[in-house]
Structure 1
Amino acid sequence: MNPMIETAFGLAREQYAALGVDVDAALEQLAKIPVSMHCWQGDDVQGFEADAGDLTGGIQATGNYPGKASTPAQLRQDLEQAMALIPGAKRLNLHAIYLESAEPVARDKIEPKHFAGWVDWAKRQQIGLDFNPTCFSHPNSGDGMTLAHPDESIRRFWIDHCKACRRISAYFGESLGTPSVMNIWIPDGMKDLPADRLGPRQRLVAALDEIISEPFDEAHHIDAVESKLFGIGAESYTVGSNEFYLGYAATRDVALCLDAGHFHPTEVISDKISAASLYVRHLLLHVSRPVRWDSDHVVLLDDETQAIANEIIRNGLLERVHIGLDFFDASINRIAAWVIGTRNMKKALLKALLEPIDALRQAEQQGDYASRLALMEESRSLPWQAVWDYACAREGVPVGATWLAKVKEYEAEVLSRR
């Protein structure tokens, strides 16, 4: 290891120790916190269906940066390159459209065998897999309704799709020895004002209840549901609102997914974590970066990303919060997007682990709010970067921005030839 990195780390460890922070314990904990990277950053949410159509459901991946993956092998190769540049535990989050089959397979007929290649790869990488039904970009979602559709036959198609996905998710968990979190998000809503807001929600409740009726061992599979304030084509009414899914998760004992881009621009999910944790056992986070509205930009090490990490660590929720990412930027190198976003989430977790939380709590309990504020602000200037560099070097991951050279090299040798 570079002696300068070791020296800087030693000085940082002493400075943190003076505030009662055990840096070595923080590093050990950081290495074990998995962040679930999303496969769809690598190919702009296209997937590998034999009869794949246009991207719909209010989802847009803008940009045409060259080199995107067009086969499962290419996507896995790109993921391996990205993961090699990120320290600590990782997972991969798959959508149902990333199946592998030489023949077209209807979404309500997909099976574990169509994802066996992903499981074999995950075993080699020693990572867990998470999963999502794909309730968009399909003829049966063309009018903006899926599980809440008034047509029973269309609703049945999506119910059966989600049921099939749960079996695949349980297969992931059983095969890999770590539970797969399967998140249900649907685009259902209306562009203009509806006359009936209740009916679609009644249909959605009934559909979800049927979907989760087949029991699975929680050691293999965890159900999650994801809300949204609005979407493109669903600006006036979203069936699966925050209130709807918070109530559903609390009454059905499933996980609640909080997506950083799915709320009003003045709302943040960091404040929702502690509140929802009182009523919901498991939380799934989709850490993203909204710009104005739900634009899913690459995650930054900004105030909200840090606040999300702080809330998880301060409240001891690591065993109950599953951290995933959700962004897709087709205007920049896609591997760089993964690395920037995932490393930033890891940095935020490290900074949270290095916070002098005991001193902060003591000041708060004593009503000494000046000391609390002072400690919070001084913590921003503590040498966390030296600890981060040491964590990267210890795992053989590039330190600082040196990872970018690896991405450029890969782009020249692999991406540019596609």
Structure 2
Amino acid sequence: MSNQTILESYNLAKSAYAKLGVDTDKVLEQLNNLSISLHCWQTDDVGGFETKATSMGGGIQVTGNYPGKANSIEEMRADLEKVLSLLPGKHKLNLHAIYGEFNGEMVDRDQIEVKHFQGWIDWAKKNNVGIDFNASCFSHPYAEDGFTLSSKDPKIRNFWIEHVKRCREISNEIGKQLGEPCIHNTWIPDGSKDTCVDRLGHRVLLKEALDEILETKYDTANMKDAVESKLFGIGSESMVVGSYDFYLGYAIKNNTLICLDNGHFHPTEQVGDKISSVLQFVDEILLHMTRGVRWDSDHVVTLNDESLLIAQEIVRSGAMDKTYVGLDFFDASINRIGAYISGCRSARKAFLFALLEPTELLKSYEDKGENFERMFLLEQAKALPWGAVWDYYCLKQSTSLDSDVIEVVQDYEKTHLLHRGEVLV
């Protein structure tokens, strides 16, 4: 498609939206201010680069053996740079603690330091991206019995407390060096496969551990804390210590962000519906956008009803500046770079669609009880030429159109990914 065709299509779309009171130029400015945090673990199937190999655990399960997995930090960074070159808009990199540069040294997680992530900070500066960070409380011998911060074994619990303390310190330094807040997210796999009698005991220990971890206060210009709940996990089907009720209460009381991962709830729950409620009681939220298929399967984000509702509720609530958006999926059954690009573009498209919604007109219909008009306009919006606005946005951002992405990804697979050898299941 020629640039002239894209511009002509955009001008027609601009006129159509203007009739409904929507300024598409303003929308694209808002869309471009949205920073999406790319999860590094899509490139290597949540393996990390610790010297001592540990078995994957803590409810983490990646399926598939598509060739091209990143086997080193150099390969991961090459993949990330390729992904960034094919994405419009602002981005951050979301790092887990297991992705430090340990240079062949065995550094246990209660000993990690800023120096192990300085290379990532320098890389982020070079590529003009921010960084978010996560404690890695899984795939470790001290996580094998199913409990970390809520473990009744003081040795295990104190190990993980120290790990998260260090992760917060690293996050603070990341934010200080990069000049924007690093969101540090705490998720733990703690729970019971079968009936747990002492749920209270584990939750008391988790609260005490978090209280100790958060004793050190950091400037929120550098780092912000988030806590992430889960309904169930592999090996914790009957009880998860860090439930939604637990963490929502903790976030409200302790002024942290609450992380809403839309794969961490019952399939019939709508995370989008929770947003306007949660924002009454917490200042900001962290989103982990994913796609659960029957369970927390972390499928690649698509432009479906769930992702649309999440974006729509953030926009309708006027909460774009109160929301941090990250991705969280891992699929080893397809080209990993393609999965990245498709998922991230779909997430941003959801926000574009939401921003293009004639919200004020819809609210006026609703307030007057004109529900047919509201319903019809919502349906009409689905057929409006938002795709032309997306193409124009990609053109302005000097990145590939959707129609060109497949060919570019296939070429990268041939020239880079297929030379990395076989990936073992």
| Equivalent residue number for residue 98 of structure 1 | 99
| C-alpha distance after superposition, 1:253-278 (max 9, x if no partner) | 00000111111111121111111111
The one-letter code matched in structure 1 to 2:338 is A
Q: Distance in 1 between matches of 2:146 and 2:196?
A: 13
The one-letter code matched in structure 2 to 1:58 is G
| Post-superposition offset of 1:394 | 1.3
Describe the SS at the equivalent of 1:310: helix
**2:283 corresponds to 1:275:** no
Q: Distance in 2 between matches of 1:197 and 1:155?
A: 16
Q: Distance in 1 between matches of 2:373 and 2:366?
A: 8
- Match 1:147 to one of 143, 146, 149: 149
Q: Distance in 1 between matches of 2:337 and 2:265?
A: 27
| Equivalent residue number for residue 215 of structure 1 | 217
| C-alpha distance after superposition, 1:84-130 (max 9, x if no partner) | 11100111100000000121111011011100110001001111100
| Equivalent residue number for residue 7 of structure 2 | 6
Describe the SS at the equivalent of 1:319: helix
Segments of 5+ residues of structure 1 without an aligned counterpart are: none
| Equivalent residue number for residue 122 of structure 1 | 124
- Match 2:294 to one of 286, 292, 295: 292
**2:410 corresponds to 1:408:** yes
The one-letter code matched in structure 2 to 1:106 is D
| Equivalent residue number for residue 314 of structure 2 | 312
- Match 2:187 to one of 161, 182, 185: 185
Describe the SS at the equivalent of 1:160: helix
| Post-superposition offset of 1:225 | 0.4
| Equivalent residue number for residue 48 of structure 1 | 49
Instruction: Kindly report which structure 2 residues correspond to 1:51-130, keeping only aligned pairs within 5 A, or say none.
Output: 51-102=52-103, 103-130=105-132
Describe the SS at the equivalent of 1:93: strand
Percent sequence identity is 53
Q: Distance in 1 between matches of 2:404 and 2:174?
A: 34
Q: Distance in 1 between matches of 2:387 and 2:201?
A: 52
Question: How many residues matched?
Answer: 418
| Equivalent residue number for residue 399 of structure 2 | 397
Q: Distance in 1 between matches of 2:288 and 2:39?
A: 10
| Post-superposition offset of 1:302 | 0.3
| C-alpha distance after superposition, 1:53-90 (max 9, x if no partner) | 11111110000111111111110110110111110011
| Post-superposition offset of 1:374 | 1.1
| Equivalent residue number for residue 343 of structure 1 | 345
Q: Distance in 2 between matches of 1:401 and 1:82?
A: 16
TM-score normalised to structure 2 length: 0.97
Segments of 5+ residues of structure 2 without an aligned counterpart are: 421-425
Q: Distance in 1 between matches of 2:8 and 2:145?
A: 61
Describe the SS at the equivalent of 2:286: strand
Q: Distance in 1 between matches of 2:152 and 2:40?
A: 32
| C-alpha distance after superposition, 1:165-201 (max 9, x if no partner) | 0001111110101101111000000011011110000
Q: Distance in 1 between matches of 2:402 and 2:198?
A: 54
Instruction: Kindly report which structure 2 residues correspond to 1:208-287, keeping only aligned pairs within 5 A, or say none.
Output: 208-287=210-289
The one-letter code matched in structure 2 to 1:25 is K
Describe the SS at the equivalent of 2:174: helix
The one-letter code matched in structure 2 to 1:97 is I
Describe the SS at the equivalent of 1:10: helix
Q: Distance in 1 between matches of 2:355 and 2:152?
A: 48
Pick which of 274-283 and 129-138 moved more: 274-283
Describe the SS at the equivalent of 2:405: helix
| Post-superposition offset of 1:142 | 0.6
Q: Distance in 1 between matches of 2:72 and 2:238?
A: 37
| C-alpha distance after superposition, 1:19-70 (max 9, x if no partner) | 1100000011111100111000000000000112111111100001111111
TM-score normalised to structure 1 length: 0.99
Q: Distance in 2 between matches of 1:141 and 1:94?
A: 20
Describe the SS at the equivalent of 1:322: strand
The one-letter code matched in structure 1 to 2:177 is S
| Post-superposition offset of 1:401 | 2.8
Q: CA RMSD in A?
A: 0.7
| Equivalent residue number for residue 38 of structure 2 | 37
Q: Distance in 1 between matches of 2:313 and 2:128?
A: 28
Describe the SS at the equivalent of 1:291: coil
| Post-superposition offset of 1:341 | 0.3
| Equivalent residue number for residue 133 of structure 2 | 131
| Equivalent residue number for residue 303 of structure 1 | 305
| Equivalent residue number for residue 378 of structure 2 | 376
Describe the SS at the equivalent of 1:131: strand
Q: Distance in 2 between matches of 1:349 and 1:54?
A: 37
The one-letter code matched in structure 1 to 2:78 is Q
Q: Distance in 2 between matches of 1:260 and 1:335?
A: 22
Q: Distance in 1 between matches of 2:108 and 2:284?
A: 31
The one-letter code matched in structure 2 to 1:15 is A
Q: Distance in 2 between matches of 1:201 and 1:253?
A: 19
Q: Distance in 2 between matches of 1:167 and 1:318?
A: 27
Q: Distance in 1 between matches of 2:53 and 2:163?
A: 16
The one-letter code matched in structure 1 to 2:237 is E
